Amino acid sequence: MGEGNNCDAPYPDFLERNKFSYPQTPSAGYAIHTSINERFITMPNKIFRFYAYLGLSFVLFALFGASSLSAQILRDSKGRPLQIGVQLYSVREQCAKDLHGTLKALAGMGFRGVEFAGYYGRSAKEMRELLDANRLKAYGTHLGLDALLGDKLDKTMEYCKVIGCKFLSVPWLPENRRNTKQATTETAHLFMEIAKKVNANGMVLGWHNEAYEFKPIEGETIWETFTANSDKSVGLQFDTGNALSVGEQAAPYLLKYPERIVSVHLKDHSKTNPNALLGEGDENWNEVIPILKTKTATRWFIIEQESFGQPPLVCVEKCLRNFEKLWTKGSL
C-alpha cells in the first residue's frame, strides 16, 4: 500500500463476475436419425453423458481454463509453483461488500493466495473457512506496529496461525518512530526483538516500504538506517511501485538485500499515467524479473493496484496476466 499508484482514484461499483448460464444436460438418451435405414438409434445414457460432459469440459476450459490455470503453472528457478497472491487492499471495497464472492473471483483468475490488510470483521475460524472454500492461502498480512506490541502480539500470532499466515508485515511507521536517525535505529532494534517471538512461532516478521523511506534524514535514508540496524531475522517486503514513485528502481535494492527480501509488492508507477497497471509503467521489469527468478529469497509475489481506470477486479486480473507474460517471456 502506498504511493505507487494514485490512491485517491475513485472505485467503480462492485464487478460481478463469472455469471454464465449453461444449457441443462438432457436426462434422456440422445437420438440420432440415420437417413440410410430411416430409423432412430438411441444411445445409452452413460455414453451420452460421457460425451456431453467431455464437450462441456472443453467449453469450460475455453471460458475459464486459461485464466484459472495460467498462474498456477508458473514456477521458480527450482521448479516449484510460484506463490502468487494479491493484496486485498486492491479490492477493499469489493471485499467489504462481498468477501466470499471477491475471494472466489480472485481464485478464478488464478491467484493462489491473498495478503490481508484487515479482516472485515471475520474471526480467524471464519476467515480460514473462506480461504479453504476458495482454495486460497494466506500469503501475508499487513498490520499496524501496535498489533505486535505487548499482549497483542500473542493474539495476532494466534489469528495468523489459524488462517495459515506465516508473513506478518508492518507497512507503515508512525512518524515518531522514523523522524530521526536515532528513532529509526531504535525501531529497527524493536523489530528484531519482536522477530524473536514471531520466528519462534514459525512465522516471519517483515517491514514494507512506502515512499518516505528513501528520503534522507541526517545524511542517510530511513531505508539505509533501518536495514543497517536490523538483521535477516527481520524480512523485507519491497514495494516496487512505492519506491519508483520517488525515482528508485527496484533492481539495485533487490540485489543489495537478496536474502532479506522474502516478499515483493509487484506494482508499477508512471509519471504520465496514474492508473498504470503492472508492466505498463516506468519500472524496468526486464531487470527485475531475472533478479527475482535467480538471485533473491523471495517466497511471496504479491500483486497490488491502488488506482483504477477500470473496475478493480478487472485491473488486478490484467496485472496478473501481465506478470505471467513478464515471467515467462520477459515482456508484454
Q: What is the pLDDT of residues 43-74, one digit of tens each?
A: 444 444 444 444 443 433 344 444 444 444 78
Q: How far apart are CA 330 and CA 309, in angstroms?
A: 25
At 226-285, the pLDDT tens digits run 999 999 999 999 999 999 999 999 999 999 999 999 999 999 999 999 999 999 999 999
DSSP 149: S
Contact 236, 227 (CB under 8 A): yes
Contact 246, 211 (CB under 8 A): yes
The grid coordinates of residue 93 equal: 471495497
DSSP state letters, 164-230: T--EEEE----GGGTSSHHHHHHHHHHHHHHHHHHHHTT-EEEEE--SGGGSEETTEEHHHHHHHTS
Over pLDDT 90: what percentage of the chain? 75
pTM of the model: 0.80
How high does pLDDT run on average in the chain? 85
DSSP state letters, 82-96: P-EEEEGGGGHHHHH
DSSP state letters, 81-144: BP-EEEEGGGGHHHHHH-HHHHHHHHHHHT--EEEES--TT--HHHHHHHHHHTT-EEEEEE--
How sure is the predictor about 2, in pLDDT bands with cuts at 50, 70 and 90?
A: low
Amino acid at residue number 227: T
At 127-143, the pLDDT tens digits run 999 999 999 999 999 99
